[in-house]
C-alpha cells in the first residue's frame, strides 16, 4: 500500500514508518519537524517537510503521493501546555486535522488511522477503561482529539470515509533505531532514565498517598511496537467497518514499580523526591484490551514492564542526548 504518515519524524510516527517500510509499503512522511527529528526519518521513506496548518502544502503532498491510507500522528500533545495555551490544541490540532481530511477528500483518499488518547477519560466510572466509557476530556488536548474523532464520524456518514481511532495510553519503549526524544520530555520512563544517565539529580513522585498498593499512581505502558501492530491490524480491518479501540497493555504499573524496574535494568541507583499530588491525576488509569483482542486478535507482544524499560534503556544509553548524537 501507499501510506502517508503525518508526524513520521516523531517518536511513534518514526516507529510506524520503520515498520511499514519493513513490510514493503511505500511511505511518505509529512512533518514540520517542530518536535520531530531529521535523524529519525526512515531512509526507505519519502519525506516532505510541511505544516498541516498549511492547507495547500498538505493538499499538494497528497495530490503528488496519492496514498491509499493515512496514519495521522502529527499533533501538539502536551496536556499541561494545552491548559496554558488552549488555542494550540482546540485551534491548531483541529485545523491541522481538518486540512488533512479536506485534502484526503479532494483526492479520494478514504482511509485514516487517528492517534487518539486516554486523555478522553478524565473521570472514568470503571477500571479498566473500556470503549463504552463516557468521554470527559481531561484537557484542551484531550478535547481536540475528541473533536477530531467526531470529525471522522461525520465524514464517514457524509463522505464514506473509513477510520480507526486508537486511544493510546502511555507509549513507551524503543526499537533498535528509534526512541523517545521529546523537548520538553515529560514522560516518566525517559525521565527516570535521565536520572540513571546522570543528567537529572532525581525523579519526582507526585503523591505517594494514593489508594494503590504502594501509594503511587498506576498507569498503563504499552510498547511502541505493540501500538504499531495495532495500527497495521486496524488498517486492514477498515474494509469491515470503522474502528474505535482503547489501546494499552491492559496491565497497570505504579510509578514506584517503574523506578524499581529502571534501577534493576540499568544497575544504577535512581534518586527519588516525593512531591505533592498534581491536580487532576487519577490514582489508576488502565486500558481495557478485550475489544481489540476479540475483533482484531491483537495482543501485546511486550507486555512485561521490564522488557519495555530494557528497550528504552538500550536506546537511551546509546543516545544519551537523543537524536542529536545519533
Ligand atoms: N506518546 C504517547 O504516549 C501518546 C499517548 C497518547 C496519544 N499520543 C498521540 O500520538 C501521536 C504521536 O505522539 P508522539 O509521542 O510520537 O509525538 P511527537 O511529538 O514525538 O511526534 C509528533 C510529530 O508531529 C509533528 N508535527 C506536529 N505538529 C505538526 C504540524 N502542524 N504539521 C506537521 N507536523 C507536525 C512533530 O514535528 C513531530 O515529529 C500524537 O498525536 C499524540 O497526541 C501519544
Confidence of residue 193 (pLDDT cuts 50, 70, 90): very high
Q: Is the CB of 171 under 6 A from ligand 1?
A: yes
The secondary structure of 267-301 as a DSSP string is -S---EEEEPPPTT--SB--B--HHHHHHH----S
Q: 246: Cβ below 6 Å to ligand 1?
A: no
Q: How far is the CA of 72 from the centre of ligand 1 (A)?
A: 9
Topology adopted by domain 174-219+250-325 = UDP-galactose 4-epimerase; domain 1 (3.90.25)
Rounded to an integer, the average pLDDT of 287-297 is 98
Percent share of the chain, pLDDT over 70: 99
27 CA distance to ligand 1 centroid (A)? Answer: 17
Q: Over the stretch 243-264, which tens digit does the pLDDT of each residue have?
A: 999 999 999 999 999 999 999 9
Question: What distance in Å separates the CA atoms of residue 169 and residue 312, rounded to the nearest whole number?
Answer: 17
d(CA 73, CA 164): 13
Residue 326 has pLDDT above 90, yes or no: no
Residues of each domain in the chain carrying CATH 3.90.25.10 = 174-219+250-325
Architecture per CATH, 2-171+221-247: 3-Layer(aba) Sandwich (3.40)
Give the residue from 8, 11, 33 showing the smallest Cα distance to 186.
Answer: 11
Give the residue range(s) of CATH 3.40.50.720 domains in the chain.
2-171+221-247
Mark whether 168 is an active-site residue: no
Strands across the sheet containing 46-49: 46-49, 26-31, 2-6, 69-72, 111-117, 162-168, 243-247
- Atom nearest to 96 CA in ligand 1: 31
Q: Tell whether ligand 1 has an atom less than 6 A from the beta carbon of residue 9.
A: yes
User: What local confidence, expressed as pLDDT, does residue 325 receive?
Assistant: 66
Which pTM was predicted?
Answer: 0.97
User: Residue 261 and residue 311: Cα distance in Å, rounded?
Assistant: 12
Q: What is the mean pLDDT of residues 107-117?
A: 98
14 lines ligand 1 (CB under 6 A): no
Determine the 3-state secondary structure of 27 from DSSP.
strand
Q: 220 — alpha (psi -120 to 50), left (phi > 0) or beta? A: beta
Q: How far is the CA of 182 from the centre of ligand 1 (A)?
A: 10
Mean pLDDT of all residues in 124-152: 97
Q: For all residues of the chain together, what is the average pLDDT?
A: 97
The residue-averaged pLDDT of 273-277 equals 96
User: Residue 77: CB within 6 Å of ligand 1?
Assistant: yes
Other C-beta atoms within 10 Å of 140: how many? 23
Q: Are 243 and 295 in contact (CB under 8 A)?
A: yes
At residue 263, the 3 state secondary structure works out as helix
pLDDT at residue 279 greater than cutoff 90? no
Amino acid at each position: 500500500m501507499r501510506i502517508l504518515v503525518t508526524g513520521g519524524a516523531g517518536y511513534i510516527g518514526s516507529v510506524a514508518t520503520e515498520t511499514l517500510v519493513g513490510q514493503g509499503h511505500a511511505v511518505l512522511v509529512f512533518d514540520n519537524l517542530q518536535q520531530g527529528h531529521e535523524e529519525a526519518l526512515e531512509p526507505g521513506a519519502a519525506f516532505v517537510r510541511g505544516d498541516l496548518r498549511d492547507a495547500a502544502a498538505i493538499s499538494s503532498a497528497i495530490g503528488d503521493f496519492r496514498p491509499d491510507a493515512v496514519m495521522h500522528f502529527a499533533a501538539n500533545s502536551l496536556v499541561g501546555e494545552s491548559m496554558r495555551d488552549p488555542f494550540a490544541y482546540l485551534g491548531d490540532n483541529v485545523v491541522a486535522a481538518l486540512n488533512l481530511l479536506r485534502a484526503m477528500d479532494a483526492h479520494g483518499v478514504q482511509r485514516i488511522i487517528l492517534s487518539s488518547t486516554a486523555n478522553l477519560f478524565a473521570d472514568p466510572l470503571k477500571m479498566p477503561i473500556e470503549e463504552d466509557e463516557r468521554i470527559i476530556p481531561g484537557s484542551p488536548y484531550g478535547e481536540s482529539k475528541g473533536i477530531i474523532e467526531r470529525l471522522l464520524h461525520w465524514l464517514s456518514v457524509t463522505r464514506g470515509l473509513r477510520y480507526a481511532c486508537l486511544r493510546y495510553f502511555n507509549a513507551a519503549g524503543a526499537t533498535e533505531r528509534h526512541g523517545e526524544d521529546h523537548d520538553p520530555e515529560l514522560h516518566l520512563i525517559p525521565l527516570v532514565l535521565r536520572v540513571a544517565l546522570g543528567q537529572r539529580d532525581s525523579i519526582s513522585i507526585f503523591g505517594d498517598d494514593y489508594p494503590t498498593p504502594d501509594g503511587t499512581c498506576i498507569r498503563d505502558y504499552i510498547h511502541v511496537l505493540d501500538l504499531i501492530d495495532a495500527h497495521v491490524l486496524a488498517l486492514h480491518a477498515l474494509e469491515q467497518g470503522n474502528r474505535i479501540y482503547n489501546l494499552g497493555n491492559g496491565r497497570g504499573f505504579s510509578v514506584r514499580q517503574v523506578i524499581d524496574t529502571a534501577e534493576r535494568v540499568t544497575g544504577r541507583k535512581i534518586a527519588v523526591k516525593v512531591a505533592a499530588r498534581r491536580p487532576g491525576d487519577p490514582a489508576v488509569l488502565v486500558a481495557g484490551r478485550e475489544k481489540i483482542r476479540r475483533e482484531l486478535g491483537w495482543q501485546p507482544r511486550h507486555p512485561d514492564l521490564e522488557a519495555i524499560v530494557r528497550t528504552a534503556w538500550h536506546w537511551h544509553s546509546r543516545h544519551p542526548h537523543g537524536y542529536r548524537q545519533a
